[in-house]
Amino acid sequence: MSVDILNITKQNFEQIVIKSSIPVVLIFLSKSYQSCKRMAQTVETLATQYLGSIIFGVVDVDDQSELSGQLGIGGVPCMLVLCGGRLLSNIGGELPLAHYKKVIDKLLLNTKCKKAAKKH
What is the CATH class of 5-119?
Answer: alpha beta
Averaged pLDDT score across all residues of the chain: 87
Q: What is this structure's pTM?
A: 0.86
pLDDT of 116 > 60? The answer is: no
Tens of pLDDT, residue by residue over 9-43, are 999 999 999 999 889 999 999 989 999 988 999 99
CA-to-CA dists, residue 109 to 1, 23, 41, 77, 84, angstroms:
27, 11, 25, 25, 14
